[in-house]
Structure 1
Amino acid sequence: MQKLLVIAMAILLPCIKASAQQAVKIDYDYVTRKLILPPLLTPVTPAEKMELKLPKALTYHSGSYMIETNIMEEMYAYRNLKATANWQKPSSMPADYSCEVFAPGMLNLTPQKTRNFSTKLYDQTHTLKAVDGLVRDYTCNFPCKLIIKNKAGQVISVFEIAGENEVFTLPLHKDFLVDTVRHIYPFFSDLTLSDFESNNKSEINRKMEEKIARQVFQKMIDVINYSFYGVKTMRETYGYGVVKQKKRPYDYNDIDTAVMKYKIALDSMDRGNSEACKTIASDARLVLEQILNSAAPRVDKNVQQILYYDLSHLNLLTQHFEEAWKYYQILLKDYGFEEGSVMATELSRRIQQHEDYYKTKGKMIK
């Protein structure tokens, strides 16, 4: 009899242990909404005209035509902006809004010490191989302001796109002057690097100014878009809720209530009421954070994943961007998110979009 009991316990114990460790089965209630962030200044109508006034010269580029041809026209965002009806009105028509760019050009260009650089590149046989060598970083400043005026010539807003003390860094590498190359190909010795610098000084300076200008002017285009067009997206997934009111192994009513508040906050965002969205989302965020930190048995890995995903969104909606990125990194590290996957890409893009919008809002000088 005792022997039979031992055998029965040997069979049952692993089953009990497996049952205890089994994750709670979760059905997802998708939280989907459009994103609407209103224009920071005023919405433009299709009938209104806008114009962009570029500087006549930069440090290493002279003539506004050359600046636009070499720097601006290569930017996808700029071409997209110019393609809208507001920028294609007849030259005889006075502009309703003018966007004047103040940028003297690249300043204080300074070479730094060479540094070791390791990467992997494909060779002529399309085999990925390790490449070790040297690059030299160059630092510079590129101060830039955007002054927006109305039809009467009055300044309605000024944005600091890049400050006078903001430092930009570019690595000089073997293919630096080749436009089609997107990777860094290091030099193999100090001598080849020095020879490249001395033989191509003028071309290097111009190319560096173009590369830095693209970065700065891309920010400027974002400012114009946020100022007059705002942000609008198609309907997207902004989070999850826990469904199945019956036969749930635990009580999730507090999560249900928080997710309901979350949906109300998103309804406000859907209508363009960002302040109401922020206030309501703050309440939901506090509740879900308390649940996540409770260490209760019901908060298993499946539930944690829902909470991390929702909290990342609630933090971006309440402009706690460091926290939003923190939860995103946890999802990448511990919850099967793969960088570059659809969900990871959409979430990171969403955080960045909100962060850029509110950073732009914070840069409004007037």
Structure 2
Amino acid sequence: MRALVIEAYKKEPTFIDRPLPKVGNNEVLVKIHAASINPLDTKIRKGELKLLLHYDMPLTLGNDFAGTIIEVGKDVTKFNVGDEVYGRPRSNKIGTFAEYLSVHEEDIAIKPKNLSFEEAASIPLVGLTSYQALYDILKVKNDQKILIHAGSGGVGTFAIQLAKEMGAYVATTASEGSNLAKSLGADEVINYKKENFEDIIKNYDAVMDSIGGATLEKSFLTVKKGGKIVSISGTPNSRFAKEMGLGPFKKMLLSLASAKITSLEKKHDVEYTFLFMKHSRQQLQVLTELLESRKIKPTIDKIFPFEEAIKAINYVETGKSKGKVILTIVDQQSNSKEEITLP
């Protein structure tokens, strides 16, 4: 099968032929029709997550997908050959920039019936990230005020809609994407190129950050005492290290790296959480219901053919995309098991 891989960290991706994935007892083999490109792919490629994740090389990139099941493992109970599914494989089983993927049945769900494969592929990573940030960590309640950074980005476009569905008042930061953020339900859009959000937003209940750095640090000025901040781009802290069960050396490194954030957390009496999104079939099923009822819709910027994957990745890395960028991997009309030779 054809796959887009890196041979080493910080290397440019290249196309190679790889063996068809072996299917575990609780796994299914999926013919991938579409995959989405996420900032996480760039972080992995550059080796920015080496402290948390180890990958063997060559590594096939890609963290979410939509496709058709062509084989099921002997202990699989929830899916059948021919099912159209979407999902986010667990962190040690990534590799959706390929024609086929072997994935655990707990990492996928039936694709929303009203979405194309490209639309469905845009959802898993940003959808699960938003759900786990807003429901599991921030526990957003009706009429609470939340600031969601980068409202025109992949995570932001989904998070705005989900937060509004939860009854929150939503402010967001954006620039050229302000009209998009408004159309998705944002109550207030702050053009970060013209205004300082920390001068405008005060005494909010929560912040969802996907930028990190100075933006995350300034966010502590916007939250009331007892409020919460969750970040997917900030520095993992000792609380995260404990949850992940990391060893003493890694705990020490993360404690040192997050010292400034920990200081801000104590100074402002705000609870900070670093979110490393987890796979979840159950949560994908919740998202499916929201998508099929049209309470949330996918936001897609551009769709590229698989052969233009490197061009698509470069486009995402410019930071100019609004919503998700998608790769069409395999023509969805070609999905029978007989077309390939299984190992």
TM score, norm. by length of structure 1 = 0.20
In our comparison, the structure showing a higher alpha carbon Rg is: 1
TM-score for both structures, normalised by structure 2: 0.21
User: Which has the larger share of strand?
Assistant: 2
